[in-house]
Amino acid sequence: MPVIALKNLTLGYDRHPAVHHLDMSIARGSLTAVVGPNGAGKSTLLKGITGSLRPLSGSVNLQDHRVAYLPQQAEIDRSFPISVRDLVAMGLWAEIGPFRAVSRAQAQRIETALAAVGLTGFERRSIAALSGGQMQRVLFARLLLQEAEVILLDEPFTAIDARTAVDLLQIVKRWHGDGRTVLAVLHDLDLVRAHFPETLVIAREKIAHGQTGEVLTAETLFKARQMCEAFDDRAAVCAA
Protein backbone atom coordinates (compact mmCIF):
# COMPACT_ATOMS: atom_id res chain seq x y z
CA MET A 1 0.00 0.00 0.00
CA PRO A 2 1.77 3.21 -1.10
CA VAL A 3 1.76 6.09 1.35
CA ILE A 4 3.21 8.51 -1.20
CA ALA A 5 2.26 8.34 -4.89
CA LEU A 6 3.85 10.67 -7.44
CA LYS A 7 2.10 11.00 -10.79
CA ASN A 8 4.05 12.56 -13.65
CA LEU A 9 5.40 15.04 -11.10
CA THR A 10 7.51 17.97 -12.26
CA LEU A 11 8.93 20.35 -9.66
CA GLY A 12 11.02 23.43 -10.20
CA TYR A 13 11.77 27.06 -9.48
CA ASP A 14 11.02 30.14 -11.58
CA ARG A 15 9.24 27.88 -14.09
CA HIS A 16 12.46 25.87 -14.68
CA PRO A 17 12.11 22.18 -13.82
CA ALA A 18 14.52 20.86 -11.19
CA VAL A 19 13.19 17.31 -11.39
CA HIS A 20 10.63 16.10 -13.89
CA HIS A 21 8.11 13.40 -14.83
CA LEU A 22 8.42 11.36 -11.65
CA ASP A 23 6.06 8.38 -11.59
CA MET A 24 6.56 6.26 -8.54
CA SER A 25 5.24 5.28 -5.14
CA ILE A 26 6.71 4.84 -1.68
CA ALA A 27 5.38 1.91 0.32
CA ARG A 28 4.00 2.45 3.83
CA GLY A 29 6.58 1.57 6.46
CA SER A 30 9.53 1.63 4.05
CA LEU A 31 12.96 3.08 4.82
CA THR A 32 14.21 4.66 1.62
CA ALA A 33 17.40 6.55 0.80
CA VAL A 34 17.22 9.22 -1.89
CA VAL A 35 20.55 9.31 -3.70
CA GLY A 36 21.90 11.37 -6.56
CA PRO A 37 24.56 13.93 -7.53
CA ASN A 38 24.44 17.54 -6.33
CA GLY A 39 21.70 19.41 -8.16
CA ALA A 40 19.82 16.18 -8.93
CA GLY A 41 16.59 17.51 -7.40
CA LYS A 42 16.63 15.48 -4.16
CA SER A 43 15.81 18.35 -1.79
CA THR A 44 13.31 19.72 -4.31
CA LEU A 45 11.53 16.36 -4.28
CA LEU A 46 11.18 16.46 -0.47
CA LYS A 47 9.84 20.03 -0.61
CA GLY A 48 7.33 18.90 -3.23
CA ILE A 49 6.15 16.05 -1.01
CA THR A 50 5.72 18.35 2.02
CA GLY A 51 3.65 20.70 -0.14
CA SER A 52 5.94 23.69 0.44
CA LEU A 53 6.79 23.67 -3.28
CA ARG A 54 3.83 23.55 -5.66
CA PRO A 55 4.22 21.15 -8.62
CA LEU A 56 4.75 22.71 -12.05
CA SER A 57 2.76 19.73 -13.32
CA GLY A 58 1.61 16.33 -12.09
CA SER A 59 0.60 15.54 -8.54
CA VAL A 60 1.67 14.26 -5.13
CA ASN A 61 -0.84 12.00 -3.39
CA LEU A 62 -0.30 11.45 0.32
CA GLN A 63 -2.29 8.71 2.03
CA ASP A 64 -1.25 10.07 5.42
CA HIS A 65 -0.99 13.81 5.90
CA ARG A 66 1.00 13.59 9.10
CA VAL A 67 4.32 14.46 7.47
CA ALA A 68 7.41 15.61 9.37
CA TYR A 69 10.25 17.30 7.55
CA LEU A 70 13.88 17.88 8.50
CA PRO A 71 15.30 20.73 6.40
CA GLN A 72 18.99 21.11 5.65
CA GLN A 73 20.73 23.04 8.42
CA ALA A 74 21.79 25.70 5.91
CA GLU A 75 18.13 26.68 5.53
CA ILE A 76 17.81 27.55 9.22
CA ASP A 77 18.88 30.97 10.50
CA ARG A 78 21.13 29.90 13.37
CA SER A 79 21.65 33.51 14.47
CA PHE A 80 17.94 33.93 15.27
CA PRO A 81 17.51 34.43 19.04
CA ILE A 82 15.41 31.40 19.88
CA SER A 83 16.06 28.85 22.63
CA VAL A 84 16.43 25.11 22.10
CA ARG A 85 13.20 24.50 24.01
CA ASP A 86 11.19 26.96 21.94
CA LEU A 87 12.46 25.57 18.64
CA VAL A 88 11.76 21.98 19.69
CA ALA A 89 8.29 23.01 20.91
CA MET A 90 7.41 23.91 17.32
CA GLY A 91 7.23 20.15 16.73
CA LEU A 92 3.90 20.39 18.55
CA TRP A 93 2.51 22.69 15.83
CA ALA A 94 -0.22 20.23 14.82
CA GLU A 95 -1.50 20.38 18.44
CA ILE A 96 -0.82 23.98 19.49
CA GLY A 97 -0.98 25.78 16.13
CA PRO A 98 -0.14 29.47 16.05
CA PHE A 99 -2.01 30.47 19.23
CA ARG A 100 -2.36 27.78 21.89
CA ALA A 101 0.02 27.63 24.85
CA VAL A 102 2.13 24.57 25.64
CA SER A 103 0.43 22.54 28.38
CA ARG A 104 2.26 20.89 31.25
CA ALA A 105 1.92 17.46 29.63
CA GLN A 106 3.28 18.84 26.35
CA ALA A 107 6.16 20.50 28.22
CA GLN A 108 6.98 17.09 29.65
CA ARG A 109 7.00 15.63 26.13
CA ILE A 110 9.49 18.32 25.10
CA GLU A 111 11.75 17.28 27.99
CA THR A 112 11.42 13.63 26.98
CA ALA A 113 12.25 14.39 23.33
CA LEU A 114 15.33 16.36 24.35
CA ALA A 115 16.40 13.53 26.64
CA ALA A 116 15.96 11.05 23.78
CA VAL A 117 18.49 12.96 21.68
CA GLY A 118 20.88 13.45 24.60
CA LEU A 119 20.27 17.16 25.13
CA THR A 120 18.88 17.31 28.66
CA GLY A 121 20.04 20.56 30.23
CA PHE A 122 20.21 22.41 26.89
CA GLU A 123 16.64 23.76 27.06
CA ARG A 124 17.51 27.40 27.68
CA ARG A 125 20.49 27.62 25.35
CA SER A 126 20.23 29.72 22.24
CA ILE A 127 20.48 27.72 19.00
CA ALA A 128 23.34 30.05 18.01
CA ALA A 129 25.46 28.50 20.78
CA LEU A 130 25.09 24.92 19.51
CA SER A 131 27.54 22.88 17.44
CA GLY A 132 26.38 21.41 14.14
CA GLY A 133 25.82 18.01 15.74
CA GLN A 134 23.88 19.46 18.68
CA MET A 135 21.71 21.46 16.29
CA GLN A 136 20.89 18.30 14.36
CA ARG A 137 19.92 16.60 17.62
CA VAL A 138 17.60 19.55 18.35
CA LEU A 139 15.94 19.13 14.96
CA PHE A 140 15.51 15.39 15.59
CA ALA A 141 13.88 16.19 18.94
CA ARG A 142 11.43 18.41 17.06
CA LEU A 143 10.74 15.54 14.64
CA LEU A 144 10.10 13.20 17.58
CA LEU A 145 7.42 15.56 18.87
CA GLN A 146 5.68 15.67 15.50
CA GLU A 147 4.87 11.95 15.81
CA ALA A 148 4.33 11.82 12.05
CA GLU A 149 3.69 8.70 9.99
CA VAL A 150 5.81 9.99 7.10
CA ILE A 151 9.24 11.43 7.92
CA LEU A 152 11.31 13.25 5.31
CA LEU A 153 14.97 13.91 6.14
CA ASP A 154 17.16 16.20 4.02
CA GLU A 155 20.81 15.26 4.57
CA PRO A 156 20.33 14.27 8.22
CA PHE A 157 23.91 13.08 8.76
CA THR A 158 25.84 15.73 6.83
CA ALA A 159 28.56 17.69 8.70
CA ILE A 160 28.00 16.01 12.06
CA ASP A 161 30.39 13.92 14.14
CA ALA A 162 30.38 10.11 13.95
CA ARG A 163 28.89 9.63 17.43
CA THR A 164 25.95 11.92 16.67
CA ALA A 165 25.42 10.21 13.31
CA VAL A 166 25.23 6.81 15.05
CA ASP A 167 22.79 8.12 17.69
CA LEU A 168 20.53 9.74 15.12
CA LEU A 169 20.65 6.68 12.87
CA GLN A 170 19.31 4.64 15.80
CA ILE A 171 16.34 7.02 16.01
CA VAL A 172 15.71 6.60 12.26
CA LYS A 173 15.80 2.81 12.67
CA ARG A 174 13.40 3.03 15.59
CA TRP A 175 10.95 4.96 13.41
CA HIS A 176 11.28 2.26 10.77
CA GLY A 177 10.72 -0.40 13.43
CA ASP A 178 7.55 1.42 14.52
CA GLY A 179 6.20 1.09 10.97
CA ARG A 180 6.69 4.72 9.99
CA THR A 181 7.72 5.66 6.46
CA VAL A 182 11.11 7.35 6.25
CA LEU A 183 12.62 9.00 3.17
CA ALA A 184 16.16 10.37 3.64
CA VAL A 185 18.38 12.29 1.24
CA LEU A 186 21.88 10.88 1.72
CA HIS A 187 25.33 11.14 0.16
CA ASP A 188 27.16 8.41 2.09
CA LEU A 189 26.60 5.33 -0.10
CA ASP A 190 28.21 2.95 2.40
CA LEU A 191 25.70 4.11 5.02
CA VAL A 192 22.87 3.59 2.53
CA ARG A 193 24.03 0.05 1.69
CA ALA A 194 24.38 -0.84 5.38
CA HIS A 195 21.15 0.58 6.77
CA PHE A 196 18.59 1.50 4.11
CA PRO A 197 16.66 -1.40 2.53
CA GLU A 198 15.34 0.70 -0.38
CA THR A 199 16.93 3.35 -2.53
CA LEU A 200 15.69 5.90 -5.03
CA VAL A 201 18.35 7.21 -7.41
CA ILE A 202 17.38 10.47 -9.09
CA ALA A 203 19.17 12.87 -11.40
CA ARG A 204 16.57 15.40 -12.54
CA GLU A 205 14.41 12.33 -13.23
CA LYS A 206 14.01 8.86 -11.77
CA ILE A 207 17.05 6.71 -12.61
CA ALA A 208 16.19 3.67 -10.47
CA HIS A 209 14.05 2.75 -7.48
CA GLY A 210 13.92 -0.52 -5.55
CA GLN A 211 15.95 -2.76 -3.27
CA THR A 212 19.22 -1.05 -2.41
CA GLY A 213 21.37 -4.02 -3.45
CA GLU A 214 19.82 -4.04 -6.91
CA VAL A 215 19.55 -0.30 -7.43
CA LEU A 216 22.79 1.08 -6.05
CA THR A 217 25.11 -0.17 -8.79
CA ALA A 218 28.03 1.51 -10.54
CA GLU A 219 25.94 1.59 -13.70
CA THR A 220 23.00 3.54 -12.20
CA LEU A 221 25.32 5.95 -10.38
CA PHE A 222 27.23 6.61 -13.63
CA LYS A 223 23.95 7.16 -15.46
CA ALA A 224 22.81 9.57 -12.72
CA ARG A 225 25.99 11.60 -13.02
CA GLN A 226 25.67 11.71 -16.80
CA MET A 227 22.05 12.83 -16.62
CA CYS A 228 22.89 15.68 -14.23
CA GLU A 229 25.79 16.90 -16.34
CA ALA A 230 23.72 16.73 -19.54
CA PHE A 231 20.72 18.58 -18.11
CA ASP A 232 20.21 21.96 -19.75
CA ASP A 233 18.02 24.51 -17.95
CA ARG A 234 17.40 26.30 -21.24
CA ALA A 235 16.18 23.23 -23.06
CA ALA A 236 12.66 23.32 -24.44
CA VAL A 237 9.94 22.01 -22.16
CA CYS A 238 9.49 18.35 -22.86
CA ALA A 239 6.14 16.70 -23.54
CA ALA A 240 4.28 15.22 -20.57
Q: Which residues are near another protein by CB under 8 A?
A: 14, 47, 50-52, 67-69, 71, 75-77, 80-83, 86-87, 90, 93-94, 97-99, 126-127, 142, 146
Bridge-based pairing state of the strands 57-62 and 2-13: antiparallel
Nearer to another protein, 94 or 166 (CB): 94
Nearer to another protein, 20 or 47 (CB): 47
3-state secondary structure of 10: strand
Nearer to another protein, 88 or 208 (CB): 88
Nearer to another protein, 86 or 188 (CB): 86
Strands in 206-211's sheet, in edge-to-edge order, are 67-70, 150-154, 181-185, 31-35, 198-202, 206-211
Minimum Å gap between C-beta 59 and another protein is: 18
Strand (E) or helix (H) holding 107: helix 104-116
Bridge-based pairing state of the strands 181-185 and 31-35: parallel
Nearer to another protein, 14 or 219 (CB): 14
Minimum Å gap between C-beta 127 and another protein is: 8
Minimum Å gap between C-beta 176 and another protein is: 21
Minimum Å gap between C-beta 142 and another protein is: 8
Bridge-based pairing state of the strands 31-35 and 57-62: unpaired
- Torsion sign (Cα): 119, 120, 124, 129: negative
Nearer to another protein, 99 or 219 (CB): 99
Minimum Å gap between C-beta 6 and another protein is: 17
Task: Say how far apart CA 56 and CA 123 lie, in whole Å.
Answer: 41
Do the Cβ atoms of 82 and 127 come closer than 8 Å?
yes
Minimum Å gap between C-beta 129 and another protein is: 10
| Residue 84, burial from CB neighbour count under 10 angstroms (0-12, 13-18, 19+) | buried
Q: In sequence order, what E strands does 120-197 have?
A: 150-154, 181-185
Minimum Å gap between C-beta 77 and another protein is: 5
Nearer to another protein, 142 or 176 (CB): 142
